Amino acid sequence: MTREMLFALAVLFAGPASAAGLVVAGSTDRAAMEPLLVAFRAANPDIAVTYLEQETVELYEAVTSGSLQPQPDVVISSAADLQIRLVNDGYTRSHASDATARLPDWARWRDEAFGFTFEPLVFVVNPVLLPVENRPRTREALAQLVAAGGVDGPKVATYDVGQSGIGYLAASFDAGTMSDYWPFVERTSGTGLLTACCTSLVLDMVEDGRALVGYNVLGSYARARVAEGGAVAIVEPEDFTVAITRVAILLKDGRNPLPANRFLDFLVSPAAQATLGDEALLPQAGESAVPAARGPVRPIPLNASLLALTDPLRRRQFIDLWRSVTSGGP
């Protein structure tokens, strides 16, 4: 993010000269975060907010190096494993309140990592190039679609697991839950897998026809693209749906702890959850704590098991194997 963009965000959410400060750093796109920030400012006019935007891996590295300026009080990322690592390594502080107590166990860890959204990973397709009757609705159907097309057939786009924290997390979770994960990766990349750092670029590849299908795409971004009139269609997988959550943490060295506490409580409040709409984690009265999907839902839980994914050797071996398989290497 440029200094100009940061300044614009600080001005947008600034309060009166006497307002307390709050710095939020996140991997969520500014456009996606803006409704939440506006709603928080409306409810808390005494708190001025600055929002810093960075990709997941860069955000983690900036927090550990202390290079973010201004220094954040709250960090939000969809890379749950990296957030759990920050908690484990002592960068965060705990916070417990009536608001955070509403969270399900899988979305809260040690009262230091808090999931506040529910975001399924979906398939997206180019609706012009792929008629409804031919759209894959399971991972096996996706692999068969690629195989049927031959060398010049349908291409799949997804995240580069070495660049994208979400991509690495999702691929690692797939590998741990799918008995045929590596054969599936090999089959779906047989015509040349297209990869990108972030969701918007995967959606671009599908929309402009470079790829026929996007795999493991964040549903919230896909819905936003559809709402903008983009030429993409969403397919909810029927074999199973992986769901991730944006994770908020409070930095131990944050300079504005009380505004940070209020912001965290706001994220899980009814007002914020209503603002999130389809991405809301906390259900309305009488609804399930896990929103319905076409197939079984598998949320990625916030717990110590995610720490294994952040081990440098394990991470490097996984990325190297993934790149070897997707490139057709030995």
Please check the confidence at residue 288 and state whether its pLDDT lies above 60: no
Q: Comparing 49-63, 164-178, 218-232, 269-283, which segment has the lowest mean pLDDT?
A: 269-283
285 pLDDT band (50/70/90 cuts)? very low
Nearest to 232 by CA among 263, 259, 261, 201: 201
Do 107 and 56 contact (CB within 8 A), yes or no? no
279 pLDDT band (50/70/90 cuts)? confident
135 alpha-carbon distance from chain centroid:
24
pLDDT for residue 151 = 58
Please check the confidence at residue 303 and state whether its pLDDT lies above 50: yes
Q: Which residue has better confidence, 291 or 294?
A: 294
pLDDT for residue 20 = 66
Q: What is the mean pLDDT of the chain?
A: 88
Cβ burial, residue 18 (10 Å; 0-12/13-18/19+): exposed
Which residues, 6+ apart, have CB-to-CB distance to 15 below 8 Å?
41, 45, 46, 47, 48, 49
pLDDT, tens only, 38-64: 999 999 999 999 999 998 889 999 999
70 residue type, one letter: P
Please check the confidence at residue 73 and state whether its pLDDT lies above 50: yes
Residue 194, SS3 per DSSP:
strand
Please check the confidence at residue 3 and state whether its pLDDT lies above 60: no
Specify the length of the chain in residues.
330
CATH 3.40.190.10 segments of the chain: 3-118+245-297, 119-243+310-327
- The mean pLDDT of 213-220, rounded to a whole number, is 93
pLDDT for residue 5 = 43
Question: Could you tell me the two tokens for 293?
Answer: 């999907």
Which CATH code, of 3.90.45.10, 3.40.50.2300, 3.40.190.10, 3.30.2290.10, is assigned to 119-243+310-327? 3.40.190.10
Q: What percent of the chain has pLDDT over 70?
A: 88
Q: Comparing 6-10, 94-98, 272-276, which segment has the lowest mean pLDDT?
A: 6-10
- For domain 3-118+245-297, give the CATH number: 3.40.190.10
- The mean pLDDT of 116-138, rounded to a whole number, is 93
pLDDT for residue 4 = 34
Please check the confidence at residue 16 and state whether its pLDDT lies above 50: no
pTM: 0.84
The C-alpha atoms of residue 53 and residue 76 are separated, in whole angstroms, by 10
